[in-house]
Structure 1
C-alpha cells in the first residue's frame, strides 16, 4: 500500500522543498504535529531520512523524495508521485535554496547561475507543479518562504538577494493573475529575518571568517509557525517575521540611501563571527552537504537565537491592531472634545 494511503482523505497533504534542514525541516515538523502527510523534497539522503523520521515521530506521514529543484522535470515528477501516493496536494511550501557568501566579483558566473536556478527557478518550478494540480480543483495554497532581503539587498549576498527579489516580483505578478481569474488557489509570501539554520555551515563561502546570520537571530521554529499560519490564512499577500524585518523594510522604504551607507559600513563584520572560516567546510552549491550527515534544523547559534517573535503575532493580527489603534484615537479625540466643552 503506498505511503499515506491510510487516512489519505482526511489528512492535509503538504509539500515542503528544502525539507532536510533549517526552516524547511522545522516547517515539515510543524505540519506533522497536526497530523499532516508531508512530502519532503531535498537532495541529501541523510538529511531526508532524518527529516522523515522527525515527521513520523511528530505524528505525521512522511514521503521523502530526492529532488534537485533546479530541474523542472524532477520537480514535476515529484509532484506526480506525491499525488499518487498521498493524495491531492493542499499546501506547497517553497523553501529550497543555496547561496554563496562572497563579494560579487568573487562569485564565478556559473556559481551565480546555479544559485539563481535553485533559489529562484526552484520556486518557479515548484509553483508551476503545484498550480497544475490545484487550478483544476480550484483550491490550494502556495507559500513562498521569502526574506527581508527580498526588498533590501545586503553586501556579500548578491546572488541570494537577487533570487529573493526575483521571487518577490514573480509572486506579485502571479497573485494578480489569480485574482484576475477569480481563482480560489492562493499564493502568499513570508518574509523572514536572520534565522539560525545550518546554511552557515554548508553554503559556499569565500569570507575570511565563519559566516553568521545578521543579529538579531531567530530559531527556525519561529519561522515555521509563521509558514503554517500563512498556509492556513493565504489570502494575505505576505507576512513579516521579526522586528528586524519590519525595521529593515521600513528603513529601505523611507531612507534607502542611508541604509546603503549603513550596510556598507557594518554589513561585512555583522555577517562574520570572530572565528576563521574552516577551509574544509562543506559546500552544498553543486552537491548536497547532508548526503552522509544530518545537520538538522538548527545552526550553531542556539545561545544567541530567540524562540519567540511578538511581531509575528502583530503581522498575523494587523486588522485587530488597526481597529484597536483607531479605537484609541477615537477615545483620545473624544477626551479632547470633552475638555473643550
Structure 2
C-alpha cells in the first residue's frame, strides 16, 4: 500500500514514533527516522528494513530549525521526495504551575510547539514545490481538555491544533488541493513517555487510565496519511466521549479531569525525586521501546468499567445542574 512512499517521523526512537515507523515500514514505505538518540535510531532502522521497508536514521534535535531543515534535505537527497511528515517529538513536565521552572516551561514549548513549526516549514517547503504531501501533527486529548500540573504541555498541544487549522486554510487559499494537514489527538498511550517527563511533584508519574496501545495511534497516523482527515481522536469511546462532552459541558469535564489527574496520573503512594527527565538530554537507549510497561493492550476490562463510571458521573452531574436550574 505504501511501497515507494517516503515518510519522515520525528520522535521516532520510542513510543508512538517507533510504532508508526514500524507500521509504515511493514507496508513497504521508506522511513526517515529522527530523534536525539542516534543508537536507538540505528537499531530501529534495522528493524524497519527487516520489516520490509527502507530506512534512514538522522539524529535531530527538533528545537534547532537548522537541524530540522537538514532532516528534510537528507530525506529528499536520499529518496527524492517527502510524501508524509509526522511531527511527533514531545516532552513534558509535571509540577504545580507556581513551582514549575521557567526554563522548563520554555523547553516544553520549544520542543512541542516550535519543533512542530520547524517541521511544518520544512515539510511544506518541499510539498508545495512537488504539489502533494501529507503533514500529520500529533497533538493530544490534553489539547482539548487540559490537565493540572502539565500547563505547558496542554498549551503546546492546543496551539498545535490551531496551527493545523491555519495551515489547512492557507493551503486551501493557495489551491494546494493535494496537500493535507491532519491532527491526531491521542488519549493516554502505553509508552515510556511518562518515565521521561520532568517531575517536581514529589509523586511518581503514572499513565492515567484508560491506557491504550501505541499502535492505535500509529494506525490513525497511517489512516490520515492515506485518506486525509482534519482531526482524529486516537483512543476508544471514552476518549471520544470526553472530547464531545467537554464541548457541551466544559466545567463538568474540566473538574473531572482535574480530579482524575490528581488521583490517577500521580501516584498516591510512591514518592519520586525531583528530575528534569529528558527535557535537555535524551533518555537511555535501553528505554527506546514502543511500549512503556503500562499494559495498554490488557486493560480493556478496566477501560469498560471506567467508561461506565464516567458516563454515570456525567449523568449525575448534569442531572444536578438541571434540577438546580429548575429550582431557581
TM-score interval for Structure 1 and Structure 2 normalised by the shorter chain = 0.7 to 0.9
Between 80-89 and 265-274, report the one with greater CA deviation. Answer: 265-274
Structure 1's 227 and 156: CA in aligned 2 closer, same or farther, altered over 3 A?
same
Residues in 1 aligned to 2:72 and 2:190: alpha-carbon distance in whole angstroms: 29
Taking structure 1 as the reference length, the TM-score comes to 0.83
Residues in 1 aligned to 2:238 and 2:38: alpha-carbon distance in whole angstroms: 34
Query: Pairwise mapping of residues 237-316 of structure 1 onto structure 2 (< 5 A)?
Result: 237-242=230-235, 243-274=237-268, 276-279=270-273, 283-290=277-284, 292-302=285-295, 305=298
Q: Structure 2, unaligned stretches of length 5 or more?
A: 301-328
1:5 aligns to what?
none
1:230 aligns to what?
224
Between 187-196 and 255-264, report the one with greater CA deviation. Answer: 255-264
Structure 1's 303 and 33: CA in aligned 2 closer, same or farther, altered over 3 A?
closer
Q: Answer with 1 or 2: which has the greater Rg.
A: 1
Q: Structure 1, unaligned stretches of length 5 or more?
A: 1-8, 308-341
1:71 aligns to what?
64
Q: Is the 8 A contact 1:201 1:281 kept in 2?
A: no
Structure 1's 228 and 215: CA in aligned 2 closer, same or farther, altered over 3 A?
same
SS at match of 1:268: helix
Structure 1's 35 and 152: CA in aligned 2 closer, same or farther, altered over 3 A?
same
Runs of 4+ in 1 over 4 A off after TM superposition: 303-307
User: Which residue of the other structure, out of 9, 17, 22, is the alignment partner of 1:24?
Assistant: 17
The reply on whether 1:189 has 2:183 as its aligned counterpart is: yes
Between 99-108 and 274-283, report the one with greater CA deviation. Answer: 274-283
2:132 aligns to what?
139
Shift of 1:239: 1.0
SS at match of 1:142: strand
Between 29-38 and 45-54, report the one with greater CA deviation. Answer: 45-54
Residues in 1 aligned to 2:90 and 2:211: alpha-carbon distance in whole angstroms: 19
Residues in 2 aligned to 1:55 and 1:245: alpha-carbon distance in whole angstroms: 30
Structure 1's 122 and 303: CA in aligned 2 closer, same or farther, altered over 3 A?
closer
Between 260-269 and 165-174, report the one with greater CA deviation. Answer: 260-269
Residues in 1 aligned to 2:261 and 2:83: alpha-carbon distance in whole angstroms: 39
1:36 aligns to what?
29
Structure 1's 305 and 166: CA in aligned 2 closer, same or farther, altered over 3 A?
farther
2:324 aligns to what?
none
User: Which residue of the other structure, out of 203, 206, 211, is the alignment partner of 1:209?
Assistant: 203
User: Which residue of the other structure, out of 90, 112, 117, is the alignment partner of 1:124?
Assistant: 117
Residues in 2 aligned to 1:161 and 1:140: alpha-carbon distance in whole angstroms: 28
Q: Is the 8 A contact 1:103 1:156 kept in 2?
A: yes
Deviations along 1:248-303, one digit per CA (max 9) or x if unpaired, are: 2112101111123223333211202455245387711001013x434311002126
Q: Is the 8 A contact 1:96 1:119 kept in 2?
A: yes
Q: Is the 8 A contact 1:50 1:294 kept in 2?
A: no
Residues in 2 aligned to 1:59 and 1:275: alpha-carbon distance in whole angstroms: 45
Taking structure 2 as the reference length, the TM-score comes to 0.86
Shift of 1:85: 1.1
Residues in 2 aligned to 1:282 and 1:156: alpha-carbon distance in whole angstroms: 14
Q: Is the 8 A contact 2:190 2:296 kept in 1?
A: no
Residues in 1 aligned to 2:91 and 2:233: alpha-carbon distance in whole angstroms: 22
Q: Is the 8 A contact 1:46 1:294 kept in 2?
A: no
Residues in 1 aligned to 2:268 and 2:121: alpha-carbon distance in whole angstroms: 42
Aligned residue pair count: 297
